[in-house]
Structure 1
């Protein structure tokens, strides 16, 4: 009798495992390349009380970006993982050109626009704007614990995910994910 119960239990475990392994139960919200991205439990939206700075010192309010899907990437020229993912972000900007999408690579460097400009020039980063978070206020307000940290917002300005660490931003599945967010925002 014990052997029969053991087989019944095993059968139930296998059946339940099979059900949860089906695509209907898979978490398909984020592509595999963004597997480290977490969905916010408390929602969130583009920070309305914050602005970033462009290379000319002009402040740009985050809420002016509503209507576009926005990828905010907090990075620095001295951050090795950040440096590794910059070419992917640059290629993503090319792939998404002409769409209601914006890559905001916000530098945390104390050297300002000059340091970022030199880095972009040296590394062939031609498609990203020089954008700054000069005192780290945005990083603190958004709860970044390290670099790189990225945030994805849909066209309504709602936070869709936060990713700590690097990702393959130019992967076809990631581009498809952003296209899907754009379609949902229209």
Structure 2
């Protein structure tokens, strides 16, 4: 009798674990009901030159994962290596990871920071005026915006994620396919 109660508890325990993992996985990246256009505001590239992020449906790239961050943001620093890992896992799907810093520090110091924190393989842009951040009415960092090759914002995620987890990789891919 005592053993059967133990088995019931073990089965219930695993049931709740599976249920919570499925709930976690299904709630992470939600598609927006109404797409908005990604702003065409000017940002700076890694050399300090002005640049517009251009989206073109004729390009091979299927979509973009755009992460807003700053050097003073501890969660941002923590997720940079995971974004690099995500890039290596989704590149074959023609999805590109971009970062946009809203930091006021000079670009050279920020590039050193990115390299030191495992994100040198990503494309980096800098928006000290936070013009894109404000245009999208974002509230905090890290925030990640998913944009298709037509410039439509498909989804916005606020907060840190383990971007290399297979559940996340699958959801990122599913946003664009």
Q: TM-score range by the shorter chain?
A: 0.7 to 0.9
Query: Quick one: which of 46, 51, 66 aligns to 1:60?
Result: 51
Distance in 2 separating the partners of 1:98 and 1:61: 25
Contact map agreement 2:55 2:151 (CA 8 A) in 1: no
Distance in 2 separating the partners of 1:94 and 1:148: 20
Length-normalised TM-score, structure 1: 0.70
Distance in 1 separating the partners of 2:108 and 2:135: 25
Map 1:158-169 onto structure 2 (within 5 A): 158-169=152-163
Which structure 2 residue ranges, 5 or more long, are not aligned?
1-22
Question: Which shifted more, 100-109 or 148-157?
Answer: 148-157
Distance in 2 separating the partners of 1:122 and 1:72: 20
Paired residues in the alignment total 152
Superposition RMSD on alpha carbons, in Å? 2.3
Call closer, same or farther: CA 1:37–1:57 in 2, change over 3 Å: same
Contact map agreement 2:31 2:175 (CA 8 A) in 1: no
Distance in 2 separating the partners of 1:155 and 1:129: 16
Map 1:20-169 onto structure 2 (within 5 A): 32=24, 35-47=27-39, 49-64=40-55, 66=57, 67-169=61-163
Length-normalised TM-score, structure 2: 0.74
Call closer, same or farther: CA 1:34–1:50 in 2, change over 3 Å: farther
Distance in 2 separating the partners of 1:45 and 1:120: 28
Contact map agreement 1:34 1:167 (CA 8 A) in 2: no
Larger-Rg structure: 1
